[in-house]
Amino acid sequence: MDFLHVLFSVSGVKTWVFLPPLVAFVVSLFTSMGGVSGAFLLLPFQVSILGFTSPAVSPTNLVYNIVGIPSGVYRYIREGRMAWPLTWTIIIGTLPGVFIGAIIRIKYLPDPKAFKFFVGCVLLYIGGRLLYDLTGRVASKKSKIEALDEKFKKAADKIKAEQKIRVASGLPPEAVVKTIRFSFTRYEYEFYGERFSFNTIGLFILTFIVGVIGGTYGIGGGAIIAPFLVAIFHLPVYSIAGAALMGTFVTSIGGVIFYTLIAPIYADTGLAIAPDWILGFLFGIGGFAGMYCGARFQKFVPQRFIKLMLGLIITLLSLRYIAQYFL
């Protein structure tokens, strides 16, 4: 079976050829339900398990996004759950930030230990925000979201019962995103009989900051944007997951192109900057299948379970990375 044990020349990683797609499938199956590609968990896997610690791991992670995300986005578009004004706001804000983040990664965080600490801090915020969102302190502010979650679950159960299959191929007509008003300062939409709105300028500023962090990390920003939209803007995860994934997809393309173009500039330093395309593609294949299944199954999984699962995993991983910096 040695022919299945492959050495990837760019990253220096040697592993079973089926391991990257398998891990990516499992991770993305669950994370895509919350509008997250799973790249934020695959990067620690590459760094800690596969030993891929050079700056090239960040764009390789973005390659995974490019290959894997389209399947999940397709499902959300097909089911009418793509909030396009929200999507474009995310893209316009995060894209320039990704370029700045790439420079920060190469210039200031080439050391694996320092980079792991940075990753740990980012993950700690994401996980902590998700878990805090589940506490009783914020529950009173989110009665509309909880009611929508329950209504959505009942509708999904009804569809399963009527069609007598495990996974329904469609949703009720009212379970789609309908734009009510979109302007430079405000976006309002309707989803499943409820209206939600937020300030677009505030979101743009947030997405720019997220873009910088995402470009440095190599995640495209979706892992940070999705929790913000749910916890700060109080939007239902069912309606924002598609927009977060699409935003991550577009900014990942920009990030990979940028890392590839600037790689020759740093050739004399000995640092690997350009992505490991083959490794990233293998992760992407697993992500493609996982995100499609995750987007399809999402309507049958309670929001609370999605957030609790992601929050616990992310927080535990973040504490491990932060602790290793001081040991």
DSSP 8-state symbol, 290: H
| pLDDT at residue 191, rounded to an integer | 83
Note down the domain range covering 77.
15-326
Are β-strands 177-182 and 5-7 bridged in parallel, bridged antiparallel, or unpaired?
unpaired
Token pair for 243: 């927009």
Render pLDDT for 127-169 as a digit per residue (tens, 0 to 9).
Answer: 887 788 777 665 555 555 666 666 666 665 665 555 544 343 4
Mean per-residue pLDDT of the chain: 82
> Using one digit for the tens of pLDDT, what is the confidence trace for 158-195?
655 555 443 434 455 566 788 999 988 999 998 877 88
The pLDDT of residue 260 is: 94
- The verdict on residue 3 lying in a domain is no
Contact 248, 32 (CB under 8 A): no
Is residue 8 in some structural domain?
no
Residue 6 within any structural domain of the chain? no
Q: How would residue 60 be classed by pLDDT, with cut points 50, 70 and 90?
A: very high
| Residue 35 lies inside a defined structural domain of this protein | yes
User: What's the pTM value of the predicted model, to 2 decimals?
Assistant: 0.80
Whether 298 shows a pLDDT value over 80: the answer reads no
Looking at the domain assignment, is residue 9 inside a domain? no
Closest CA to 251 of 10, 37, 46, 81: 37
- Among 311, 327, 6, which residue's Cα sits nearest to residue 134? 311
In a domain, 111, yes or no: yes
Number of domains in the chain: 1
Mean pLDDT computed over 228-248: 82
On the question of pLDDT at 13 being above 80, the answer is: yes
What distance lies between CA 188 and its chain's CA centroid?
A: 23
Q: Which residues are within 8 A (CB) of 240 and not within 5 positions of it... i.e. 6 or more apart?
A: 35, 83, 86, 226, 229, 230
Where residue 313 falls among pLDDT bands split at 50, 70, 90?
A: confident
Q: Which of 228, 84, 79 is nearest to 155 (CA)?
A: 79
CA torsion through residues 322, 121, 230, 178, sign: negative
Predicted pLDDT of residue 176: 79
Query: Is 120 a domain residue?
Result: yes
